[in-house]
Structure 1
């Protein structure tokens, strides 16, 4: 019994020592909530010496929070935020350049172009349209195949999409339309689409979730959410519009001013390992390391061929002006925050 008590006491002491030895990182993220649990658990399996305090919200909210904290940063690392947001933070001098181990294995599309990059990519999420097949039949609505289809009068009141001021998915849509169609025709398209919108949400996932539950017939969202809901049995058709798909890089960066640099670098190193890429590929068809991605159910086999040639620099530089103009034109249909 004495030996058992001593063993238990020693175990408790070692646990206390290990807890005290942990480095704590504050990490801001816009990763989907259910994926974040998985990512956190797998990172902690490899690095139990680092305790991560997660701060999660939508892309627009996290970006705004980081900008508001520019002179007094609270985050050490950003893991899973839109590349355009990280470009904006880089231009504000808010990121510490770092070349993680294995950088040379990443596609050039998935990293900051500086020799020592300020951010590195994880995966790509791409636009899609979620259509509730039961509601479409009930309302006698044809299945859309293009973005232009969504401006047809038959869809009036049946479409929900994300507000780009709060949702990264909303912004990638708006940015892509302006790039694909040109600015004049892009805004003209959005004027037509606005006539059919019942509301703008503050989450990129929500329009697809609403379509899955029958709250709306059509939700402009992203492929990952549509594929997952369809796999769970939702009566959805996941449509990939024929003109091309907006997309964004989910990326990682070190916030300038952190005093936990070694732990921050460890997290960024881990975020681009093959193990991490295989983990991202469980939900995303396109990942930053070529040769890793396997087909994902309910995604098109040619996913990379469908995404547009996205000019992230243009999108980041024009982000504020685009969001201001969008809000001026369309914010009246946004749901309350």
Structure 2
């Protein structure tokens, strides 16, 4: 080796230990600079690979989704966290105050969609979403577990898939309003409900700002138009000036349960007795108006759909599959206090206190969702005129 070095450099030009040391420091400084510039991922790049950031699935839904159980954080993890771990992705959930606020957001973003999945669509919302072109059809792998009646009522074209359902009902505080005060209370009719003394103690949600309020308005419209064959406006003209109107369900129920309230009846859900029994809360009487001995109610069906032009379409479809699968469906009864859409999920025992949907005639089965969606703007305008005293 020494002869080779001599022949190349001459004895006076052998590479010294000092020169090799300086070159080593230069290399070390260069590597340090690269590491600072590219960050931790740079070390992975230098080792011959590249680690990309996980995909993010964006979900639009209402603020109370899975928030009414024993441990909302644990439920969130069971629904969204488990999906993240299973697919190696991130889930970003954007909450809206009410389900009715979601559709306007989708429409405003339809030329550049931000959401991948939407959770909380009613049949009327689905019909409007289809007309606006903000959803794409998808038939999930577990659709066979969902009763065909629910699928058909929400959307037979599969632009949305049912994940839960339940009935609207009236909660009554029996301490103030009972059979002694009002004989026949458990069998009241829609007509009685629109007049004093019942109307003066009733709280309803604004149909222009609340999905619950909208469905209650639709129940009065369909009942009067298709069952009684009378003008639905007569109900609201009679109730105007007596009923208390709130922006949404939360505000309505807060007034109903406040100590100094004069309102002792509120539009709510037929599963409320099950909720109260489970948490050992005050048990209110829950009723649905009757006509000729039969209960006529509004069946609320909520669906999940894939946004048209979703940034992560394949992942969105996988999430819909997951959402109507048994793992998520099992979370519905004790966290949403609704009935799971999947027919294979066993109901908790406390649901024996709820009004069984099988015992109620569903008013929304009398009018196609597309017809409701088409007429709703005019109905809302009429309602506002009535409540303002201008009709």
> Is the Cα–Cα contact under 8 Å of residues 297 and 363 in structure 2 kept in the other structure?
no
Q: Which residue of 2 aligns with 1:108?
A: 148
1:61/1:173 CA distance change after superposition, 3 Å: same
Change over 3 Å in CA distance of 1:247–1:222 after alignment to 2 = same
Deviation of 1:270 (Å): 0.8
CA distance in 1 between partners of 2:273 and 2:99 (Å): 19
The C-alpha deviation readout for 1:243-291, integer Å capped at 9, x for no partner, is: 4111221100011111211221111111111222222233445332235
Counterpart selection for 1:210 from 247, 255, 266: 255
Helix, strand or coil: the match of 2:353? coil
Distance 1:219 1:226 in 2: 14
Residue in 1 that maps onto 2:54: 22
User: 1:122 aligned to 147, 159, 163, which one?
Assistant: 163
2: CA distance between counterparts of 1:31 and 1:293? 26
Residue 216 (structure 2) pairs with residue 173 (structure 1): yes
Instruction: State the shift of 1:85 in Å.
Output: 0.7
CA positional deviation for 1:152: 2.8
Q: Does 1:276 align with 2:333?
A: no
Q: 1:38 to 1:202 in 2, by over 3 A?
A: farther
* Unpaired runs of at least 5, structure 1: 1-12, 333-337
Query: Does the 8 Å contact 1:208/1:218 carry over to 2?
Result: no
Q: Residues of 1 paired with 2:273 and 2:373: CA distance? A: 26
Taking structure 1 as the reference length, the TM-score comes to 0.81
Q: 1:288 aligns with which of 315, 322, 341?
A: 341
Q: Deviations over 1:220-255 (max 9, x none)?
A: 122345642464423522222224111221100011
Partner of 1:238: 286
1:222 paired to 2:286? no
Deviation at 1:309, TM superposition (A): 4.4
Of residues 232, 236, 242, the one that matches 1:196 is 242
Q: Does 1:41 align with 2:77?
A: yes
User: Which deviations, in whole Å up to 9, do the C-alpha atoms of 1:174-231 show, x marking residues without a partner?
Assistant: 112211220743221122222421x311213432342233432111122345642464
Structure number with larger C-alpha Rg: 2
Report the TM-score, using the length of structure 2 for normalisation: 0.71
Could you tell me whether the CA contact under 8 Å between 2:199 and 2:242 is conserved in 1? yes
In 2 relative to 1, CA 141–235 (structure 1 residues): closer, same or farther, beyond 3 Å? farther
Inter-partner Cα distance in structure 2 for 1:307 and 1:287 = 19
**What secondary structure sits across from 1:78 in the alignment?**
strand
Match of 2:362 among 291, 295, 308: 308
Report the Cα offset of residue 28 of structure 1: 1.1
The answer for the alignment partner of 1:52 in structure 2 is: 91
How many pairs align? Answer: 312
Deviation at 1:70, TM superposition (A): 3.0
Query: How far apart, in 1, do the equivalents of 2:74 and 2:166 lie?
Result: 18
RMSD: 2.9
Q: Tell me the equivalent position of 2:25.
A: none
Contact 1:210 1:219 in 2 (8 A): no
Residues 276, 282 of structure 2: 8 Å contact kept? yes
Provide the rounded CA distance (Å) in 2 between the counterparts of 1:292 and 1:76.
27
5+ unaligned residues in a row in structure 2: which ranges? 1-39, 45-50
In 2, Cα distance between the equivalents of 1:277 and 1:65? 26
Distance 1:184 1:71 in 2: 43
Runs of 4+ in 1 over 6 A off after TM superposition: none
Greater shift in the superposed pair: 188-197 or 246-255: 188-197
Q: CA–CA distance in 2 between the matches of 1:177 and 1:157?
A: 17
Residues 1:313 and 1:52: Cα distance change in structure 2 (over 3 Å): same
Structure 1's 39 and 331: CA in aligned 2 closer, same or farther, altered over 3 A? farther
Task: Say if 2:164 and 2:302, in contact at 8 Å, map to a contact too.
Answer: yes
The Cα of 1:169 is off from its aligned counterpart by 1.0
